[in-house]
Each structure stands twice: as structure tokens, then as C-alpha cells.
């Protein structure tokens, strides 16, 4: 069954109605400062449309992974302020999730007002494995928007989670996909159904274990899979190469070897590596051959020779999916690999290719390295969600909208 979207809800009429929106406002913070507002900006269109149509908007979202209930460092306060700036309209923040303050504020909303609830993960029922516990929280969320309320699912970054504010609320209210979720699904459908060839996949980031399933799934579909980042060292180690102090997942070595045996013509590893003495921004970079990483050194980026090889593989690609930085791009001395590969993807996009960036850190890298966001066809807000979709898994938060 087709998913109803925001336009359907607007056509049904929302003026004066309570609308609960699940947004993804999980932005990186450094000492209370938002270092990358991408997810806040991406959440604006849905909230703006609802507010302008006169809905009483109640937004729920999470920030980080608070473990033991409310904690000030995980408060959505900085997010409420940034969201107000982006919307050009005051967003109130409730002092609790579904408590007395949230209820009072929800009751006081007038048409077009926007209320942000405190971090939904302050309530442990949000992520509970117990269906009844999650449903109880979902019922309290529904209470905030009243009997004729509606639910708009717009937090793409969480649609792979069976959580109260993502999944259970949709079982209780008429439900719609927000503009962000609808756009993300459309792109992922394009990546899985009608892929123009050559299809190249670029994978990096820190852990192989996070991305093995997607490598296995895409190895049969893509023409090439380029591997960099911290995960390349487990692949190199599986070939008997010594990787020094580089990131290594011992338990994944056999799986990586098997993948290279089965898909050696598809998977491409770096030929050179930028190494350093330690994991620090001011450690001196040195380029070595990938099979000659000195003992005691650690690989923090792919080298210029690798960028050149990867660029030639990417230059004529018609479809590209990129997830995970090629190196520790947060340190300028180790950002060249990520920048070079990103530029190759931008080049292929400029020649008519379709490119998708998935993953929070990859998207942050694009912005931090000063690359043009519109150089890519789509920058996804949800790393885990897009990976699970590409692995062929069913996403609970999408399934429940159908």
C-alpha cells in the first residue's frame, strides 16, 4: 500500500489540529555548541508547512544516548534555539517529555505554534523491547495532540528503529510520511531498483562490522566497491599485510578474506596509506605503501595514489553511493583522502551521474571540508537507516506507514 505523505495531510486539513511530528534533530554537539546543523535544517520544511497551515505542532526527537533518564548535557535546549532561528519563529521547549509541563504547554498551543518535547530518550520506554511499555509512552504522546490528531514521521535517521515515537505512535494515529522521509525513500528506491551503470560504492568510516552486511549485499549489485577509512585495515590484514597500530577488527579478518575471495574483482583497497605515530591532529603524516605500514605507526588516511585509483574508478560511474570518510578528516593533515574521493564523486555527478551520500560523519565531512553540498545528487540524513535499507532489511518505521 502506498504511504500517505504530508501533502495528503495538508489536503485533509490541519488548521487547529494537533499534529505530532517525529523529527531527527540528533546533531553533533561540542560543549553545547551545534557543530553541524544539517539535520535541523533538513527538518524545517515539514515543520514550516504544518505551522503555516495552522496546525498545533508537537515535535518529538532524541539527542545522543542518555542512559539514566534526564541529563542536562542531553537537553534539546540548544536545538530548540537553533530550530527557532531556522524557522524564523519561536519554538518552545517543554521541560519534560510527556509530563505535566509538556501537557500544559500542549494544551496552551494556538494555531501555528510549535512545541518541542524534551529528549524522548529521557524516557526509557522509548527504546524498550517491551511492546506494552513502548505503547504506554506512545499513548501519552498521542494525548498531547488530542483525539483528532495526526502523526507525521519525518525522522529518517530513526526509521530503522522500532521505538515508541517512531513506530508505536503510528499504530495509534492517522500517519503520514514527512517531506524528508518521503524524499529519502525515493532516493533509496532509485539506488535499489533502477541503477544506471557503472554503479560504484565507496565505503569508509571506522568499523567494518557496521558495514559488512551492506558490502555483502552490494557486492553482487555494484560494479566496484572502493574501501578506505579505518575499515580498510581489516581487509589489508586479511591479505597477510601488517597494519601496525591501525584500527583492526580481529574477529572480522576471516569474513573480509572470504569477501575478497568471492568479490576480488569488485572490491578495491587502497594502494598507499597516510600513517602517523599516534591518533592526534599534530602527529606528522607520512605516505607509505599499503603493504609496508611500519610497526608502531597507524594509518589515518588513504594516500594520494589510492585517491588517484579511486578517482579513475569513479570518474565514469553513473550511480554512486558513498558511506564513511576515507580517513580521520576531522584532523586537517588526514583529510586529503576524503576530500579527494568526494571531489571525484562531485566530478562524476557533474557529468550526469546520480550520487548519494549516506552517513552522519560523511555528510559532516562534506560541509567541514568546504565542498559544495549541491555537488551531490542527495545527502542523506540517516546513515544507519540508509545502510539497512540497502542491506535489504525492512525498516519498521517505514513499514508501519504503509
Q: What is the strand order of the sheet 18-22 is part of?
A: 91-93, 114-116, 56-60, 18-22, 150-153, 175-177
- Answer whether 207's CB lies under 8 Å from 324's CB: no
Torsional sign, CA 352, 353, 356, 361: negative
Q: Binding string to ligand ADP for residues 300 to 319, with x set by CB under 6 A, is what? A: x-------------------
Quote the CA–CA distance of 47 and 21 in Å, as a whole number: 8
Which residues does the annotation place in the binding site for (2R)-3-phosphoglycerate? 39, 121, 161
Residue 239 carries which DSSP code? T
Instruction: Establish if 119 lies at the interface with ligand ADP (CB under 6 A).
Output: no
- Contact window for ligand ADP (CB under 6 A) among 127-135, 150-158, 205-213, 287-295: 205-213
Cis ω before 198 (30° cut-off from 0) = yes
Q: Which is nearer to ligand ADP, 113 or 361 (CB)?
A: 361
Which residues does the annotation place in the binding site for ATP? 211, 299, 330, 359-362
Which of 155, 157, 270, 360 is in the footprint of Mg ion by CB under 5 A? 360
Which of 18, 37, 178, 327 is in the footprint of ligand ADP by CB under 6 A? 327
Least distance to ligand ADP, CB of residue 274, Å = 9
Grid coordinates standing for 179?
517531506
The closest of 21, 23, 4 to 382, measured between CA atoms, is 23
Instruction: Establish if 206 lies at the interface with ligand ADP (CB under 6 A).
Output: yes
Q: Which residue has its beta carbon closest to Mg ion?
A: 361
Q: Binding string to ligand ADP for residues 260 to 299, with x set by CB under 6 A, is what? A: ---------------------------------------x
Which of 18, 38, 303, 325 is in the footprint of ligand ADP by CB under 6 A? 325
Least distance to Mg ion, CB of residue 323, Å = 9
Residue 309 catalytic? no
SS3 content of the chain, % helix, strand, coil (to 5): 45, 15, 40
Q: Which is nearer to Mg ion, 94 or 341 (CB)?
A: 341
Burial of 213-227, coded b for 16+ CB within 10 Å and e otherwise, reads ebbbbbeebbbbbbb
Quote the CA–CA distance of 84 and 93 in Å, as a whole number: 10
- Answer whether 358's CB lies under 8 Å from 364's CB: no
Residue 207 catalytic? yes
Which of 126, 154, 361, 388 is in the footprint of Mg ion by CB under 5 A? 361
The closest of 58, 55, 67, 24 to 141, measured between CA atoms, is 58
Instruction: Establish if 362 lies at the interface with ligand ADP (CB under 6 A).
Output: yes
Grid coordinates standing for 153?
514521521
Residue 16 catalytic? no
Centroid of chain to Cα 84: 23
- Contact window for ligand ADP (CB under 6 A) among 50-58, 164-172, 234-242, 354-362: 354-362
Residue 352 catalytic? no
Q: Which of 99, 146, 375, 384 is catalytic?
A: 384
Least distance to ligand ADP, CB of residue 237, Å = 13
Q: What residues make contact with Mg ion under the rule CB under 5 A?
A: 360-361
Q: What residues make contact with ligand ADP under the rule CB under 6 A?
A: 204-206, 210, 229-230, 247, 299-300, 323-325, 327-328, 330, 359-362, 383
Amino acid at each position: 500500500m502506498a504511504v500517505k505523505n504530508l501533502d495528503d495531510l495538508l489536503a485533509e486539513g490541519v488548521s487547529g489540529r494537533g499534529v505530532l511530528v517525529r523529527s531527527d534533530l540528533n546533531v553533533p554537539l561540542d560543549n553545547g555548541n551545534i557543530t553541524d546543523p544539517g539535520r535541523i535544517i533538513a527538518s524545517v520544511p515539514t515543520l514550516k508547512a504544518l505551522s503555516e497551515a495552522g496546525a498545533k505542532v508537537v515535535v518529538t526527537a532524541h539527542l545522543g544516548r542518555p542512559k539514566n533518564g534526564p541529563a542536562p548535557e542531553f537537553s534539546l535546549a540548544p536545538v530548540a534555539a537553533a530550530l527557532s532561528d531556522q524557522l524564523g519563529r519561536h519554538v518552545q521547549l517543554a521541560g519534560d517529555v510527556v509530563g505535566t509541563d509538556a501537557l500544559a504547554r500542549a494544551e496552551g498551543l494556538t494555531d501555528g505554534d510549535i512545541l518541542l518535547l524534551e529528549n524522548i530518550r529521557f524516557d526509557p520506554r522509548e527504546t524498550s523491547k517491551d511492546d506494552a511499555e513502548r505503547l504506554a509512552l506512545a499513548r501519552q504522546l498521542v494525548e498531547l495532540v488530542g483525539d483528532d490528531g495526526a502523526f507525521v514521521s519525518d525522522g529518517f535517521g530513526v526509521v530503522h528503529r522500532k521505538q515508541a515515537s517512531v513506530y508505536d505512535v503510528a499504530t495509534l494515529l492517522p500517519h503520514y510520511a514527512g517531506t524528508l522521509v518521503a524524499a529519502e525513500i525515493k532516493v533509496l528506491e532509485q539506488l535499489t531498483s533502477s541503477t544506471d551503470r557503472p554503479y560504484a560504492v565507496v565505503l569508509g568510516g571506522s568499523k567494518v562490522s557496521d558495514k559488512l552486511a551492506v558490502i555483502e549485499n552490494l557486492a553482487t549489485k555494484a560494479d566496484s566497491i572502493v574501501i578506505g577509512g579505518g575499515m580498510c585495515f581489516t581487509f589489508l590484514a586479511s591479505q597477510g599485510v601488517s597494519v601496525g597500530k591501525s584500527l583492526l577488527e580481529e574477529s572480522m579478518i576471516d569474513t573480509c578474506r572470504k569477501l575478497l575471495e568471492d568479490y576480488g574483482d569488485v572490491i578495491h583497497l587502497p594502494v598507499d596509506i597516510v600513517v602517523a605515530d599516534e591518533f592526534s591532529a599534530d602527529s606528522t603524516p607520512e605516505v607509505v605503501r599499503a603493504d609496508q605500514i611500519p610497526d608502531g605507526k597507524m594509518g589515518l588516511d588513504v594516500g594520494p595514489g589510492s585517491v588517484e585509483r579511486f578517482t579513475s574508478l569513479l570518474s565514469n560511474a553513473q550511480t554512486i553511493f558513498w558511506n564513511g570518510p576515507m580517513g580521520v578528516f576531522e584532523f586537517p593533515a588526514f583529510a586529503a583522502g576524503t576530500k579527494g574521493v568526494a571531489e571525484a564523486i562531485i566530478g562524476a555527478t557533474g557529468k550526469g551521474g546520480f550520487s548519494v551520500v549516506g552517513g552522519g560523519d560523511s555528510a559532516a565531512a562534506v560541509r567541514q571540508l568546504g565542498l559544495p553540498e549541491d555537488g551531490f545528487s542527495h545527502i542523506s540524513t540517516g546513515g544507519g537507516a540508509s545502510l539497512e535499507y540497502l542491506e535489504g532489511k525492512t525498516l519498521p518505521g517505514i513499514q508501519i506507514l504503509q
